Amino acid sequence: MPVNIALRDHLLTRRSVGQAFLREPGPDAEQLRQILTIGTRVPDHGKLAPWRLIVIAGDERAKAGERLAEIAKAKNPQIEEVALENERRQFLPAPLTIGVLSKAAPHPKIPEFEQLISAGNVAFNLEHAAFALGFAATWVTRWYAYDETASLMLGAREGERFVGFISIGTPAAVIEDRPRPALDDIVSYWHG
Ligand SMILES: Cc1cc2nc3c(=O)[nH]c(=O)nc-3n(C[C@H](O)[C@H](O)[C@H](O)COP(=O)(O)O)c2cc1C
């Protein structure tokens, strides 16, 4: 196969752009379809498709934030207004966020661990898809991926859990790279 220079160079330099720096325009309906199609084209042992996606976009972003604020307030009635306002803005200003749910469940052949990893593949592939279409993206979990009430409110069904929320938009800033692990620290060669 020929070298795909653009893809190689992208993979060598890509990095996330935090939610706070993601702005309009976001993907249109056709671009979103492509992002979802690419995002779910992942290794998946047993072809179980052990994941689901929830798109939070448009006016639903503020509604979802308001519901998070209500849950946060119910859990902690002393919560300060500034913290509540942060909750209201959890899905803003990014034009859209895709929640990735793992449906990993007992299976006669495929370990749940592998099903969970496949959902992680979906999350990162959504980021690649967003970048391929000229957008930027980031992956967060935040407290609501670990809170049952919040996860159910955001669309999880019984037995499912969010592996992350991928926010997508146009970058409003150039993000400096961060230090990467030295290969010598993380790679070794097996010798028998
Ligand atoms: C599973 C997972 C969950 C994450 N959750 C958060 C989070 O809740 N908040 C946050 O600021 N960053 C979170 N991050 C990290 C961001 O995605 C971070 O910006 C990213 O690791 C940057 O990597 P990059 O520079 O290689 O793109 C999470 C990353 C992963 C893999």
- Write phi, then psi, for 29 (nearest 5 degrees): -60, -40
Nearest ligand 1 atom to alpha carbon 127:
27
**Domain assignment present for 186:** no
**Domain assignment present for 71:** yes
Cβ(96)–Cβ(33) below 8 Å:
no
From the CA of 1, how far away is ligand 1's center (Å)?
32
19 in ligand 1 pocket by Cβ < 6 Å?
A: no
- Write phi, then psi, for 98 (nearest 5 degrees): -115, 115
Cβ(49)–Cβ(40) below 8 Å:
yes
Cα atoms found within 13 Å of the Cα of residue 129, Cβ hemisphere only: 25
**Domain assignment present for 31:** no
**Helix boundaries (H) for the chain:** 5-13, 29-39, 60-75, 81-88, 112-132, 148-153, 183-186
**Domain assignment present for 18:** no
Give me the domain span that covers residue 138. 40-172
From the CA of 139, how far away is ligand 1's center (Å)?
5
Give the CATH number, domain containing residue 59: 3.40.109.10
146 in ligand 1 pocket by Cβ < 6 Å?
A: no
Whose CA is closest to atom 12 on ligand 1? 140
**Domain assignment present for 23:** no
Per-residue pLDDT averaged across 152-176, rounded? 96
**Domain assignment present for 70:** yes
Q: Give the total number of structural domains in the chain.
A: 1
* pLDDT in the model for residue 81: 97
**Domain assignment present for 66:** yes
Nearest ligand 1 atom to alpha carbon 177:
25
**Domain assignment present for 6:** no
128 in ligand 1 pocket by Cβ < 6 Å?
A: no
Mean model confidence pLDDT for the chain: 97
Confidence of residue 5 (pLDDT cuts 50, 70, 90): very high
15-39 per-residue burial string, b: 16 or more CB within 10 A, e: under 16: ebbebebbbeebbeeebbeebbebb
Per-residue pLDDT averaged across 84-95, rounded? 97
116 in ligand 1 pocket by Cβ < 6 Å?
A: no
73 in ligand 1 pocket by Cβ < 6 Å?
A: no
Residues 128-144 have pLDDT tens digits of 999 999 999 999 999 99
Number of Cβ atoms within 10 Å of the Cβ of 170: 17
d(CA 31, CA 150): 28
